[in-house]
Amino acid sequence: MSRKVVGVDLGGTKLLAGVIDEQLEVHDRVHRVVTGMSEQAVTDAIVESASELIKRNPDVEAVGFGIPCLIDQHDGHAVMCVNLPLADVPFREVMSERLGVPAFIDNDANVTTLVEVQFGAARGARDVVGLTIGTGIGGGLVLDGKLYRGSRGSGAELGHMVIDHNGPPCQGNCPNNGCLESFASGNAIGREGMDAAELEPDSELGRAAASGEVITGELVTQLALGGDEVSRMVVGQIGRMLGVGLANFVNIFNPDVIVVGGGAMAAGDLLLEPARAEMKARALRPNRDQVKVVAARFGADAGMLGAGVLAFDELGVLAVDEV
């Protein structure tokens, strides 16, 4: 009989949770929107989602959480989030107490990187940069076969690398200007899309804005995939800015693979091809010639599956710290 855990992926706008077995098969799932919620409401939504799954699947042994926060792994605190109202929450303790099963916590991009290294697009690689591009940009690092978390467990915030100190303000609770996140996230696609719609009112994007549609990263991507040239231009521009960040990661970490996931990867090679080209133009030899920049294998489920892998690892069912 297979063992089961719940994996919870909490993003800046939505939550996805699922019951997962050792083969990463998903047996049950729930989805909730968390946009605009207070800290208490977000916490309650997380508990309700996991509780719902545990009630329907009483053989669940533990819950793993991937959340977009800086985590203090010494005590399981969610120290701060850029795009959610969570700060100084004893997350591991609260969740374990309220759910009645062991709870484990890590940054959402860390768990996404883990599952991609262990089972996905970076399988077998020992030096990996993982990026999740959605509301913001999360980062995960596997260096010499081990997940790198930093001295307290909150390292690898790659989306908050400043690439232009005179750039636009970063979003949420980040105090910086010109972070990679402010130039290349899903929100950045939406922002650039709004500007392009005003400049090109006769484009499909411009007509969508004129009709009152909210110009989001998802809409721009959808129109780009449908052939709208202005939307394709926007996605390509964001891809080039992403490539600036990739070049820095290649120069600093010399990874075998860079895995890019998250909701913005719905754009596929419309985003990745200009990112690869910009990285090649900026990164140093020989690092730029050996690195592979690939899309995450598990797509929108990567964070949920990674959170499940975290729980299995902590239970001693899977060994994912060593690749």
Note the pLDDT of residue 80. Answer: 84
pLDDT of residue 321 exceeding 80: no
User: What is the spatial distance between Cα 89 and Cα 72, in angstroms, rounded to a whole number?
Assistant: 10
The DSSP secondary-structure symbol of 300 reads G
Every domain range in the chain assigned CATH 3.30.420.40: 4-112+300-315, 124-296
Q: Is the separation of the CB atoms in 201 and 239 below 8 Å?
A: no
CA angle (262, 264, 266) in 5-degree steps: 95
137 contacts: CB under 8 Å, gap ≥ 6: 131, 158, 159, 180, 181, 184, 185, 245, 262
User: What is the spatial distance between Cα 125 and Cα 117, in angstroms, rounded to a whole number?
Assistant: 7
> What architecture is domain 4-112+300-315?
2-Layer Sandwich (3.30)
pLDDT of residue 167 exceeding 90: yes
Percentages helix, strand, coil for the chain, rounded to the nearest 5?
A: 45, 25, 30
Mean pLDDT of 13-35: 92
pLDDT of residue 220 exceeding 90: yes
- Listed in sequence order, the DSSP H helices in the chain are 39-56, 91-99, 108-119, 180-184, 186-199, 204-210, 217-225, 229-253, 269-282, 287-290, 302-315
- Phi/psi of residue 69, nearest 5 degrees: -130, 160
Note the pLDDT of residue 73. Answer: 87
- Given the candidates 3.40.47.10, 2.40.10.120, 3.30.1490.100, 3.30.420.40, the CATH classification of the domain at 124-296 is 3.30.420.40
Mean pLDDT of 86-101: 92
Mean pLDDT of 302-315: 94
Note the pLDDT of residue 318. Answer: 60
Percent over 70 (pLDDT), the chain: 98
Average of per-residue pLDDT values in the chain: 93
Which one, of 82, 91, 114, 70, lies nearest residue 312 by Cα?
114
Buried b vs exposed e over 15-40: b needs ≥16 C-beta within 10 Å?
bbbbbbbeebeeeebbebebeebeee
Note the pLDDT of residue 319. Answer: 40
Mean pLDDT of 289-313: 94
Q: In what order do the strands lie in the sheet with 77-81?
A: 69-72, 77-81, 87-89
DSSP H/E element including 148: strand 146-148
User: What is the spatial distance between Cα 67 and Cα 95, in angstroms, rounded to a whole number?
Assistant: 13
pTM above the 0.85 mark? yes
Could you tell me the pLDDT band of residue 320, with boundaries at 50, 70 and 90? very low
Q: What is the pLDDT of residues 36-81, one digit of tens each?
A: 888 899 899 999 999 999 999 999 999 999 998 888 888 888 888 8
Q: What is the pLDDT of residues 255-298, one digit of tens each?
A: 999 999 988 999 999 999 999 999 999 999 999 999 999 999 99
Mean pLDDT of 310-315: 93
Q: Is the separation of the CB atoms in 217 and 134 below 8 Å?
A: no
Least confident of 12-16, 95-99, 218-222, 228-232: 12-16
CA angle (285, 287, 292) in 5-degree steps: 130
Q: Is the separation of the CB atoms in 49 and 15 below 8 Å?
A: yes
**3-class state of residue 195 by DSSP:** helix
